[in-house]
Amino acid sequence: MHFYNEPLLLYMKKIIVAIDGFSSCGKSTMAKELAHETGYIYVDTGAMYRAVSLFCIRNGWMTDSQINEKQIEKHISSMNLEFKTNNQGENEIYLNGENVENQIRSLEVANGASRVSTLGFVRLELVHQQQIMGQHKGIVMDGRDIGTVVFPEAELKIFLTASPEIRAQRRMDEMIAKGEVVNYNDVLTNVKERDDRDQNRAESPLRKAKDAIIIDNSSLTPQQQQEILRTLFAEKTLD
Ligand code: DC
């Protein structure tokens, strides 16, 4: 269902919506839905870090015990990342021409993404690509540093959060739905480890931008959450 009708959209000013927050908070669901309702472009920057992780794992530059920063730095600019829209109108990520949307969702790739995202040269390259994607505005981007580093001037900044236990349960439900066998405690440990790395890395740690609006969705339904976002979006685009 579209909340905004076409004529109204024509008079709205185009803005950048930055949605940051912890892993498994529902940032991408929220961002995708807003983009769908408003006709904005949706960019999942986590998918970009995950694709870098997959690229490194496949090439043997990252194992459980070591990471070959020299090789990654040498090859990062030869890595081509693109988003293409599938038949259902959803964006999918392509790594050097290959659709890797499913491969990047594993726990192994997620862990690797959290490690490669600590490397300054990886962030520099991806932030640059993200800024190009948003240069004409009309974009909803989610990640960890969108409101602080990628688009500090974004008109609407959301900082989404929920308790680690709720996020672990949501992630586990998603994985089970995909047929994966998972243990709740493993997923919870993983969520906490990633929170710790996201918040404590030297390069662009996860922080709430000063002007971001906090939404804790631990006890919100998806509908309530979306209603809050719609109201905030309308305030920013109609003023
Ligand atoms: O949102 P996600 O779980 O798909 O993100 C994967 C990893 O990438 C996560 O550990 C945090 C990192 N990331 C980041 O550092 N900066 C972003 N803008 C997006 C994701």
Strands laid side by side in the 81-85 sheet: 81-85, 91-95, 98-99
Structural domain contains residue 125: yes
219 Cα: distance to centroid of ligand 1 (angstroms)? 24
198 Cα: distance to centroid of ligand 1 (angstroms)? 8
Per-residue pLDDT band for 4 (boundaries 50, 70, 90) equals low
| pLDDT mean over 216-223 | 92
Q: Which two tokens stand for residue 40?
A: 């904005």
Asked if pLDDT for residue 8 goes beyond 70, the answer is no
Number of domains in the chain: 1
Condensed to tens digits (0 to 9), the pLDDT of residues 78-133 reads 899 999 999 988 899 999 999 999 999 988 998 899 899 999 999 999 999 999 99
Q: Which two tokens stand for residue 161?
A: 């959060």
Residue 123 maps to which CATH number? 3.40.50.300
Structural domain contains residue 7: no
Condensed to tens digits (0 to 9), the pLDDT of residues 131-170 reads 999 999 999 999 999 999 999 999 999 999 999 999 999 9
Q: How far apart are CA 154 and CA 150, in angstroms?
A: 9
The CA distances from residue 208 to 18, 55, 70, 204, 212, in Å, are 11, 29, 31, 11, 6
Asked if pLDDT for residue 237 goes beyond 90, the answer is yes
* Ligand 1 lined by 28 (C-beta under 6 Å): no
Pocket test for ligand 1, best of 115, 144, 193 (most atoms within 8 A of CB): 144
CB-based contacts of 85: which residues, under 8 Å, 6+ apart? 91, 92
- Please, what is the end-to-end C-alpha distance for the chain in angstroms? 24
Nearest CA to ligand 1 atom 5: 46
Q: How far apart are CA 123 and CA 96, in angstroms?
A: 18
Structural domain contains residue 1: no
Around Cβ 134, how many Cβ atoms within 10 Å?
20
110 Cα: distance to centroid of ligand 1 (angstroms)? 8
Structural domain contains residue 10: no
Per-residue pLDDT band for 178 (boundaries 50, 70, 90) equals confident
79 Cα: distance to centroid of ligand 1 (angstroms)? 18
SS (H, E, C) 8-40: HHHHCCCCEEEEEECCCCCHHHHHHHHHHHHCC
Structural domain contains residue 8: no
Per-residue pLDDT band for 197 (boundaries 50, 70, 90) equals confident
The CA distances from residue 57 to 67, 69, 72, 127, 213, in Å, are 9, 12, 10, 21, 36
48 Cα: distance to centroid of ligand 1 (angstroms)? 8
Asked if pLDDT for residue 3 goes beyond 60, the answer is no
CB-based contacts of 30: which residues, under 8 Å, 6+ apart? 19, 142, 158, 160, 225, 226, 229
| 100-125 exposure pattern, b = at least 16 Cβ within 10 A, e = fewer | bbebbebeebbbbbbbbbbbeebbeb
Domain that holds residue 83: 15-237
Structural domain contains residue 5: no
Condensed to tens digits (0 to 9), the pLDDT of residues 14-64 reads 999 999 999 889 999 999 999 999 999 999 999 999 999 999 999 999 999
Structural domain contains residue 9: no
Structural domain contains residue 81: yes
